[in-house]
Structure 1
Amino acid sequence: MHNPAPVVVVLHGGTPPAEMTRIQPHAELRYATADQLPEALPGADVLFVWDFRTEALPRAWPAADQLTWIHTATAGVDHLLTPDVLDSAVTITNSRGVFDQPMAEYVLACVLTFAKDLHTTLRQQDRLHWQHRVTERIAGRSALIIGTGPIGRAIAAQLTAAGMHVTAAGRSARDDDPDFGTVHASADLPSYIGEHDYIVLAAPLTEQTTGLLDAAVLSRCAPTARIINVGRGELVVEADLIDALRTSTIAGAALDVFDTEPLPTDSPLWQLPNVLVSPHMSGDTTGWIDELLDLFLANLRSYRHGQTLHNTVNKQRGYVSGTEH
């Protein structure tokens, strides 16, 4: 069965990528900002969410009179799981697979930056200041990856190849995971987080993971530990993290995601010398837009032929069905 060209609404933040024209031969395309979404949704079959921080769905939802599929150009889907969407029969798919390796490379880069003190080197270079220092090895150091989905597994492969000892935290404990070996239960995080040199956050944002690293958990970290967050800002209680950094409860943090984005200019995180701030870019590499569109167009072909969609999200769990976290 081959269905007629569906109506696809692209929700964007102001300027949709020029590459979106690749969709035009396969669908009737409508562009909409958050304010325009209620007017664009009537009669639409598909919503392609390019604006990953959008909060437009609740207000626009009554206009979604024909919608059967929502696709997001992100791995995380927390921004889409509104009560109306959860109660509906609308299928959600994500862009799992596009960001795995780039984000793993970013995490390795952060580990090396801390170990080799590269952030200090750059600051000293800016000041024309020569200061010899001794740095650390990463081989033999331990990393705890919180989140056992595809991104977490790609990170594990990268860090393991660099000689690090990697374990994970997920929904359920197990000792025979093919990529991590040992997976601890996230609920028991305070009991083992102190054993690790690097704590990497790569979990989806769910009710269970929101605020996972708070003052109580951070207080159990080793004072030499560094935290790397490539998941969602809300996985960490930001005020507690700032306190932990200021008081040397932990040694540093590399943050690619934040509670508020862009990060406000008055945030203390900008000025702390043991913090690396990047503007939510860990997964964005040359050619990423075309990769995202390749994935969407493959699913669009399946949609038009009545076939099962790839990367279908379990809406109750908040991630792709069959993926353990």
Structure 2
Amino acid sequence: MLAVLCGEKHPPDMHPIEQEATVRYTRADGLAEALRGADALFVYDFLSTAVPDAWHAADRLRWLHIASAGVDPVLFPGLRDSDVVLTNSRGVFDDSIAEYVLGVILAFAKDFARSVRLQDNREWRHRESERIAGRHALVVGTGPIGRAIARLLRAAGMRVSGAGRRARDGDPDFGTVHASAELNGHLSAFDFVVVVAPLTERTKGMFDAEAFAAMRPDARFVNVGRGELVVTDDLVEALRAGSIAGAALDVFDTEPLPADSPLWTMDNVFVSPHMSGDFIGWRNALVEVFADNFRRWRAGEPLRNVVDKRLGYVPSAD
């Protein structure tokens, strides 16, 4: 028995799975009923926070798969302390998020936002723009998405370093990796700071007033990780005070971003609605990852993308 937590739409391409198992599709309000007797749960609505409240009904559950790389919506104590295996959709969004990051870095360097505003006013104003070749970017988060970002930025001529659990040199994608625990001591060296770290108790609020004060006043901040990695009020104050030069934000601690947020109207801020990884066909790609793991699960084979529930992400050699 497979329970599938949906939002407004059912996941596509589920017919092959429906031929192999009884599938119960449910929205958040019906999740508890759908979980009773279910062996597996596919959290297709990956932003839903309904799983903890319905967990009491998970009387047979052995496997939970979430259709995202981040697992924080489902990683609550009941799941963490259980024997239920947790897998995620790592790998689907790596290249598309990397392209987004390169795009916003170019947008900052080439002053695209001001060009659009001037065009709207039919105003011809010549300016000079920045080069990104040779500029130094720090990617905070050294998992597959961070590595894809590093490779693309290097291909564009940028120098790239990383920040992760442990410091090291000679990394194939980052060269130097700084320890996240010592992050603030290194931030002043970078023109761009790109955040893609997973949300854990250790990383929540890691970019606060102290971190922004440690950055250069001409540096730009890019968040494609989780909104809760940032203390939003501290970011707003840093932008207003000129402690940093700008920010590109795809994720927020409250989503949708409230209409009265000052971030909407700041000239040096680019806002996008949690879409940096969402390429045409991404929903099908998410189902493909689940379908592969479903086949493995039915065959008794090792699952892909098994999350270490203590760490909050899929561990890797680095």
Give the distance between the partners of 1:73 and 1:17, measured in 2 at CA: 10
Check 1:10–1:323 CA distance in 2 against 1; reply closer, same or farther (3 A cut): farther
Q: Does 1:295 align with 2:289?
A: yes
TM-score normalised over the length of structure 1 = 0.96
Change (3 A) 1:213 1:127: same
Equivalent residues of 1:149, 1:323 under 8 A apart: no
Q: SS at 2:23's partner residue?
A: strand
Number of residue pairs aligned between Structure 1 and Structure 2 = 318
Q: What is the match of residue 89 of structure 1?
A: 83
When residues 221 and 133 of structure 1 are mapped into structure 2, their CA distance, relative to the original with a 3 A threshold, is: same
Following superposition, the deviation at residue 96 of structure 1 comes to: 0.5
Return the offset for 1:323: 5.1
| Rounded Cα–Cα distance in structure 2 between residues aligned with 1:29 and 1:227 | 43
Q: Which moved more, 1:147-156 or 1:31-40?
A: 31-40
Say if 2:174 is the partner of 1:184.
Answer: no
**TM-score, normalised relative to structure 2:** 0.98
Would you say 1:269 and 2:263 are equivalent positions?
yes
- Measure, in 2, the Cα distance between the counterparts of 1:144 and 1:226: 11
SS at match of 1:176: strand
Write the distance in 1 (CA, Å) between the matches of 2:248 and 2:316: 30
Q: Which amino acid aligns with 1:309?
A: L
SS in 1 for 2:215: coil
TM-aligned CA distance change 1:272 to 1:22, over 3 Å: farther
Runs of 5+ in structure 2 lacking a partner?
A: none
Structure 2 residue matching 1:143: 3-state secondary structure: strand
Deviation at 1:113, TM superposition (A): 0.3
| Equivalent residue, structure 1, for 2:169 | 175
Equivalent residue number for residue 224 of structure 1:
218
Q: 1:62 to 1:94 in 2, by over 3 A?
A: same
Residue from 269, 287, 298 that aligns with 1:304: 298
Gaps of 5+ in 1: 1-6
Paired with 1:276 and 1:235, the residues of 2 have a C-alpha distance of: 17
Say whether residues 1:14 and 2:8 are aligned partners. Answer: yes
**Per-residue deviation, 1:22:** 4.8
Alpha-carbon distance change, 274 to 185 in structure 1, aligned in 2, over 3 angstroms:
same
Distance in 1 separating the partners of 2:173 and 2:204: 25
From 124, 130, 138, the counterpart of 1:130: 124
Q: Is 312-321 or 11-20 further displaced after alignment?
A: 11-20
Q: Report the alpha carbon displacement of residue 17 of structure 1 after superposing the two structures with TM.
A: 3.6
What is the CA deviation profile of residues 49-85 of structure 1, one whole-angstrom value per residue up to 9, with x for unaligned ones? 1222222122100100111111011001111111000
Given that 1:198 and 1:228 are in contact with CA atoms closer than 8 Å, whether structure 2 keeps it comes out as: yes
Measure how far apart 1:228 and its partner are.
0.5
Q: Measure how far apart 1:25 and its partner are.
A: 2.0
Alpha carbons of 1:22 and 1:247: their partners in 2 closer, same or farther (altered >3 Å)?
Answer: farther
Letter in 2 for 1:220: A
Cα distance in 2 between the residues matched to 1:205 and 1:180: 21
User: Which runs of structure 2 are paired with 1:33-112 in the superposition (5 Å)?
Assistant: 33-112=27-106
Query: Amino acid of the residue matched to residue 24 of structure 1?
Result: E
TM superposition shift of 1:21: 4.1
Q: 2:228 aligns with which of 230, 234, 237?
A: 234
1:175-199 Cα shifts (integer Å, max 9, x gaps): 1211111000111111110110000
Report the CA distance between 1:321 and its aligned residue. Answer: 2.7
Q: Could you tell me how far apart the structure 2 residues matched to 1:29 and 1:119 are?
A: 47
- What are the superposed Cα offsets for residues 130-187 of structure 1, whole Å, 9 maximum, x if unpaired? 2111110000000000000000000000000000000010011001211111000111
8 Å contact kept, 1:170–1:185:
yes
Query: Which amino acid in structure 2 is aligned with residue 192 of structure 1?
Result: H
SS in 1 for 2:98: helix
Amino acid in structure 2 at the alignment position of 1:229: N
- Aligned match of 1:4: none
In structure 2, the partner of 1:256 is: 250
